[in-house]
Amino acid sequence: MDKHDQYIRNAKLLKEYKSGDITAREELIIENSRIVMKIAQRFTFNYRFDFDDLCLEGYIGIIKAIEKFDPAFNIPFVNYAAFWIKQCIIRYIYDKGHIIKIPVAVRNKILLLKKAKNYLWSEVGREPSSFDLSKYLRISLYEVERLIQLNEDALSIDQPIGDNEDEFTLISIIKDESETPEEYAEKNDTVYKVKKAISKLKGTYKEIICSRYGIERKPEKQNETCNRLNISASTFRSCEIHALSILKGMPEIKGLIIEKRLDDLTNFYNETEKVVIWREERRRYAYNEYLDKSYQKNFKIISTRI
């Protein structure tokens, strides 16, 4: 069964269940059992939990998804269900105590330490010492060593799960328990659009952006990328700037920029009843302006060629 057939089948069974057919729920669980096993297998491999136990938690997630799903969400049921399957499995692992439970404040310090470490590494060209981190973060050497040890003990929280296309970590989900399935699906859509735009870049431009920002690979320091591609630092910077300017003009990124600006603006008006109408008007205006500029640009190119 391909994705389209599965989409139609799920929609039909959901409609039957909402109409009162209890057996439709059992069929839905069976139809989507493969996604449960796929997700459970990832956690079994990475966290050494019993596969059957994780599958059981995954099926609880499927049931939650069936009860909460609304066709108005306008997302495939399987995507919606994946969110709840992961949530239930992760919560089970977390509650079992196999993962070291670190207070939120300390966890944030660990994340800050990791960011500082990556930044200093890119600046200095070597792995920063505990003293370097202590000086940069303005905290004691003892505190730096303590955070490093906590991070090593709790590595499983930050251990990636899944393949390159669908990779996530426990901390990315646990740290934001307020995230809704709709927000989760929207975030995945944003990542997809960014990756799609980057895939359109050619040669060195694509290589530099992917290496610089860790797209489907580990991020590299500037000098590492320069040595690998046999280019100078100035060439690297000019290529990066040019690549980013190309990306900003792509429809996928342009749309995200427009949406981001609208989000920023609607923060001022989110209490009013007119926000939906206002947002749609602004979106229409922004997209029309972008399309007009694109048309004029293409018209000029065609005119010069004629």
Main-chain phi, psi angles of 32, to 5 degrees? -105, 20
| 57 and 91 both lie in a single domain | yes
Return the half-sphere exposure (C-beta side, CA atoms, 13 A cut-off) of residue 52: 0
Sign of CA dihedral 157, 159, 161, 167: positive
Residues 86 and 111 both lie in one domain: no
Q: Are residues 9 and 93 in the same domain?
A: yes
Report how far residue 208's alpha carbon sits from residue 236's, in angstroms, rounded to the nearest whole number.
7
Verify that 23 and 81 share a domain, yes or no. Answer: yes
Are both 17 and 61 inside the same structural domain?
A: yes
**Higher local confidence (pLDDT), 305 or 96:** 96
Exposure on the CB side of residue 158, measured as CA atoms within 13 A:
12
Query: 269 lies in a domain?
Result: yes
Residue 205 pLDDT greater than 80, yes or no: yes
- pLDDT for 177: 44
Residue 295 resides in a domain? yes
User: What is the domain extent for residue 41?
Assistant: 3-99
Asked whether residue 82 is domain-assigned, the answer is yes
pLDDT of 192 over the 80 cut: no
DSSP state of 71: G
- Asked whether residue 57 is domain-assigned, the answer is yes
Residue 190 confidence (pLDDT):
67
Indicate if the pLDDT at residue 296 is higher than 60.
no
Q: Which has more pLDDT, 70 or 173? A: 70
| Cα distances (angstroms) measured from residue 197 to each of 58, 167, 203 | 33, 19, 14
pLDDT category at 134 given cuts 50, 70, 90 is confident
Residue 208 lies in a domain: no
In the structure, what pLDDT confidence band is assigned to residue 102 with cuts at 50, 70 and 90?
A: low
DSSP 162-219: S-GGG-B-HHHHHT-TT--HHHHHHHHHHHHHHHHHHHTS-HHHHHHHHHHHTTTS--
From 71, 82, 67, select the one nearest 34 (Cα to Cα): 82
Same domain, 42 and 114: no
First to last CA, the chain: 50
Average pLDDT for residues 282-287, to the nearest whole number? 69
- What pLDDT score does 178 carry? 45
Query: pTM of the prediction?
Result: 0.38
pLDDT at 60: 92
| Structural domain count, the chain | 3
For residue 43 the two structure tokens come to 């956690």
The CATH number covering residue 69 comes to 1.20.120.1810
**pLDDT value of residue 287:** 65
Three-state DSSP at 231 gives coil
For residue 269, the model assigns a pLDDT of 46
User: Is position 9 within any domain?
Assistant: yes
CA-based nearest residue to 194, from 210, 207, 179: 210
Output the pLDDT for position 6: 79
Q: Name the residue among 153, 160, 179 with its Cα closest to residue 43.
A: 160
Hey, is 50 helix, strand or coil? coil
Contact 209, 201 (CB under 8 A): yes
> Is the model's pLDDT at 140 over the cut of 80?
yes
**Alpha-carbon dihedral of residues 91, 188, 164, 82, nearest 10 degrees?**
40
- Answer yes or no: is 58 within a domain: yes
pLDDT, the chain, mean: 73
Is 105 or 181 the better-scoring residue by pLDDT?
Answer: 105
Q: Is 203 left (phi over 0), alpha (psi -120 to 50) or beta?
A: left
Percent of the chain with pLDDT over 90: 3
Mean of pLDDT values over 255-266: 61
Query: Do residues 116 and 136 lie in contact, with contact meaning Cβ atoms separated by under 8 Å?
Result: yes
Q: What CATH number did the domain enclosing 145 receive?
A: 1.10.10
Query: Which carries the bigger pLDDT value, residue 85 or residue 251?
Result: 85
Of 49, 38, 152, 153, nearest to 92 by C-alpha is 49
> How many helices (H) and strands (E) would you count in the chain?
16, 0
Q: Are residues 51 and 127 in the same domain?
A: no
Return the pLDDT at 241. Answer: 86
Within a domain: residue 121? yes
pLDDT of residue 59: 92
Confidence class for position 302, pLDDT limits 50, 70, 90: very low
